[in-house]
Chain A
Amino acid sequence: MIPLERENLGWSVRGRVALTTGLILLGFLLLVSRSWYLQVLHHEKYMRLATNNKVREVAESPDRGLVFDRMGRPLVTNVPTFSLALVLDDVKDLEATSNRVGELLGIDTEKIREQARKQRRRVPYVPVTVHQDLTLSQVADIEWARIPGVRVIAETRRHYPYGKAAAHLLGYVGEITEKQLSSNAYAEVLPGSRVGQYGSERTFDAPLRGVPGSRQIEVDAQGFEVREISRVPPIVGNDVYLSIDIEVQKAAEQALGDRPGAVVALDPNNGKVLALASYPAFDPEELAKGVNSKRWQEISTNRRKPMFNRVVQGTYPPGSVFKIPVAAAILETLRGGQERFCVGEHKFLDRTFRDWKKTGHGMVGLRQSLIESCDVYFYQYGDELGVDTIAKYATMFGLGQVTGIDLAGEAKGLVPSTQWKMADRGKIWYPGETLSVAIGQGYVSATPLQMADLLAAVAVNGKRFRPTIRLGVWDSMADGLLVDEPDPLPTVALAENTYKVLKSALTGVVWDAKGTARSARSKKVTIAGKTGTAQVVSMAEGDQDVDEKDIPIRHRDHAWFAAFAPVEDPHIAVAVLVEHGGHGGSAAAPVARQVIEAYMGAREKSPQGEELYRVLEELHREREAT
């Protein structure tokens, strides 16, 4: 045993133990001062960090406003749906999480990852929707599994009670794009939100979208909600009333059937669109449920162009419908012209211009040449007028420019002139080209909407209104329907007689024994209109006898009919285009008649003007009460 008291190098063992103890206690003092530093000096900072850890601000998306037709029938509604969303900040391992979720729900894990990665401009803690329309049992599975970062979000999605009807008019909603996010119009919209991308949903996105609410919640470390701290409820979007009548719309679509084409009807007295149909159409419900990129590719690049709104985006040679502004020019500048003899063809320089009727129309004046759609008459007077005069009158009726309808992507069409050709093509105008223009061929092109607009102007003696698909908006603040006033455009100021002659001729097109649109005769209402048959490819001379059935469909003519009714007191103007439909009289005129009959029938039974708005308000309040 070694005595403890033994001196060792001047230091006793005890001394060294004491020194060690002192050093240790010094070390503990360091720990205490560090605690003091964290807990007393910087308490507020760490308290704030702790609060930031547990408190989150969660946006609550508002329900979109609904869309109604002019009779207050719901066209676009909301249905509750459960979506699967990821809060990427809470997801530790995307691969593992998506595999787990995919296994639970039996859905494609790659799709989940694709959706999650798509979100480039990410806001912290904002859930990214990766799958929609979960079933209740799927919801239960997910909630029970409690996977960090995986949320079930109860929200609403768009529902279209009338299916594909008016698809192009109603449009659809989709996730906000990068471009939209950086524009001012969407300044308060969060990334990942769904906004209107097409049709009325896009045009009226601002009133429909509502104001997002927010919730402050306390979460645990895995991001699961522990309790709600405060809540600012979202404000539901305003409802929008469209000017269309869904019954008329359905009649239009039914009449058009499965022929590619377009039907548009508007009220000549205020420019309100009554029906707007384009075929083929897409299924807005399918898009509301969410499609993957492959399916989207399929829809958007389909050769039949279902996403293409032919009414406002399609430009076609107007054919003989264009004779209306030409006739107006003849009436205004050549005092109505003389009678001419039609032999079925017209020789001009070294070319022969044929009439659609090989045997000719015989002696015809302006009125009769419109009724029978005599081409030779218009060849002759077209030449006399010159292309620039024709362009002047066509332009007065709004051709060659957008109508300004509240739908995106409207095409302008084209009214050629010498100036246009020089500027656009760098070539001088050849007189022969005027002859083609005079019958609505050649360079001329127009949208179905412009054709309806033309007939509307004729119907009400030159008064024009900017076409609109909106009747009004329900303002929840004012608790009332804010009705849009008609937006007048410059009147087409022509002589009273000009309109009288034009209307008489257009009535004759339907009612004259030789009229080209006798198929549009209705027992219920007097219709006036003009047929058109627009060549898709120019026929080689001498090909006239070819049986229509032998021509490939894509080379067949487009059929036009543009009309208004009733002649005495016009309430509707319609334009019908059937792509490759053949003759306007046979293919398009019956469609217009059915639309007109449907509208006039509906109009008889429904209130008009102030009375209509009062009824709509009543309906709305009733619905809100339930």
Chain B
Amino acid sequence: MFTVDRRLFIHMDWRLVGLIAAILFVGITTIYSVTDQWSHGGAPLFLKQMIWAVAGLMVFTVLAAFDYHRLLGYAHYIFGFSILLLTAVLVLGKVGMGAQRWVQVGGLNIQPSELARLAVVLLLARYLADRVPPEGFRFRDMLIPSAFAFIPFVLVLKQPDLGSALMILFVFGVMLLISGVHPRSLMTGGLSGLLVLPFFWEWFWNSLHTYQRNRLVTFFNPEADPLGTGYHVIQSKIAIGAGGIAGQGFLQGSQSQLKFLPEGHTDFIFAVFAEQWGFLGVLVLISLFAALIWRGMDTAMKAKDLEGTLLAAGITCMLTFYVFVNLAMTLGMAPVVGVPLPLMSYGGTALVTTMAALGILANVHLQRHISLYR
């Protein structure tokens, strides 16, 4: 159907690729710095992460190479499939151990919420771009897209995966606003949202697991339980603060090296980096992420159609949400919701799905310049 075209190389968003490679490199070296002494047999974690990164780049290339409109054509199937998986996990989870985010498909462990969040972005991009009225969405127009967001939101929340659930809501909101909402609906929606919020909050609060509630409670007062739920945040702040301006240096820093900071190679990888490289390193890293996001939003702005815009903006906001929530959590500004830092935290599934999303982003960028298909 398509051949690997020279134009693919010429028009590829190399700045995006460069930024991705840089962040991947920082992530892998940071994983190396906290896990090099580990000797639990098997390959060291940083090597595994490198292999996942290579796999991710392959997925990225594949998803960048063919026209995203084709992918959008399958959006409702992908969405339906992911809803099925989410439900399956819930049902199987109930039979099994109570809370299980993973499901086995043909010997491969996949986390349906990873797929679901991409599916929501795809389906919304396709649906919203098709239906947006000239004067923007009114309430009645928003019922169906709301369902597209709320069904996976509830299912993901029940996984339980609070971070991804909130991300779905956030991305939905941003994509809706970008595609256009009627001013009156926006006003009344905002006001009634404020009115409904207390009730919604109560339902939301009740649907949380005890440990999730504890995290929210300790966020507001971490010192109340220094060895329990508050421990992560306290140790993370100490690690970052101890980094100072220039940092303690690579492979240095007592907080991460002596393992006072838990999850140093996963959710709290930013704290490890900040302890080693200090405020200057943090400036560089946050700039890299900001540039990545800028590349995504630039792609959205320059996309050749609204579908492309919404797809690029949705994917970028998804990434932004994870980066922002993870950093805010690590810096002690947000509750510990268990969100990895995209491209940096150790973990194969998350890395590959992130690379897939970025591949679609590159795809939107490419399609502005070439039309391989259609």
Is B179 within 8 A of A31, CB to CB? no
Instruction: Return the CB mask of B235-251 against A: 1 if under 8 Å, else 0.
Output: 10111111111000000
8 shortest interchain CB distances as A-B pairs: A46-B241, A220-B258, A50-B242, A221-B259, A21-B297, A39-B279, A221-B260, A43-B244
Residue of B at shortest CB range from A27? B324
Cα(A45)–Cα(B240), bound, Å: 11
Known contacts being A9-B180, A222-B259, is A17 close to B242, with CB within 8 Å? Answer: no
Chain B residues whose C-beta falls within 8 Å of the C-beta of A18 in the assembled complex: 297, 301
A20 beta carbon closer than 8 Å to chain B: yes
The 13 sampled A-B contact pairs (Cβ below 8 Å) are A1-B305, A2-B132, A2-B307, A9-B182, A13-B179, A14-B301, A20-B177, A28-B324, A34-B332, A38-B331, A46-B238, A53-B235, A222-B259
Q: Within 8 Å of chain B (Cβ to Cβ): is A184?
A: no
Least Cβ–Cβ distance between B335 and chain A, in angstroms: 15
Q: Give every chain B residue within 8 A of A218 (Cβ-Cβ).
A: 254, 258
A20 to B179, CA, bound (A): 12
Count of interface residues, chain B, beta-carbon cutoff 8 Å: 58
Give CA–CA (A11, B235) in the complex, Å: 45
Q: Are B180 and A13 in contact (CB under 8 A)?
A: yes
Cα–Cα distance between A31 and B242 once the two chains are bound (Å): 17
8 Å CB contact of A39 from B129, B245, B320:
B245
Q: Do A31 and B331 form a contact, CB below 8 Å, given A17-B309, A39-B240, A50-B238?
A: yes
- In angstroms, Cα B297 to Cα A53, docked, is 43
Q: Quick one: which of A203-244 are within 8 Å of B by CB? A: 218-222, 226
Q: How many residues of A contact B (CB 8 A)?
A: 45
Question: Is B289 an interface residue when CB atoms closer than 8 A count as contact?
Answer: yes
Contacts of B129 on A, CB cut-off 8 Å?
Answer: 2
B174 within 8 A of A: yes
The residues of A that contact B278 with a CB separation of less than 8 Å are 39
A220 neighbours in B (Cβ, 8 Å)? 258-260
| A1-28, CB < 8 A from B | 1-4, 6, 8-9, 11, 13-14, 16-18, 20-21, 24-25, 27-28
- Asked if B237 and A46 sit within 8 Å, CB to CB, the answer is yes
Q: Scoring B residues 110 to 146 as 1 if CB is less than 8 Å from chain A, else 0, what string do you get?
A: 0000000000000000000100101110000000000
Interface of A is mostly: helix
Residues 347 to 369 of chain B near chain A (Cβ within 8 Å)? none
Q: In the assembly, what is the distance between CA of A46 and CA of B266, in Å? A: 22
Q: Is the interface of B mostly helix, strand, loop or mixed?
A: helix
**Contact at B180–A11, with CB atoms within 8 Å?**
yes
**Which residues of B line the A interface, CB within 8 A?**
129, 132, 134-136, 174, 177-180, 182-183, 227, 235, 237-245, 254-255, 258-262, 274, 278-279, 282-283, 286, 289-290, 293-294, 297, 300-301, 303-307, 309, 313, 317, 320, 324, 327-328, 331-333
Give A545 to B177 CA distance when docked, in angstroms.
121
- Cα–Cα distance between A211 and B156 once the two chains are bound (Å): 62
CB nearest to A21 among chain B residues: B297
Beyond A20-B174, A35-B282, 9 additional pairs, beta carbon < 8 A: A17-B301, A20-B297, A24-B297, A31-B328, A32-B282, A39-B278, A39-B279, A92-B227, A220-B260
Q: Whole-angstrom distance between the alpha carbons of A138 and B283 in the complex?
A: 52
User: In the assembled complex, which residues on chain A have CB atoms less than 8 Å from the CB atom of B313?
Assistant: 17, 20
Residues of A within 8 A of B279 (CB): 35-36, 39-40
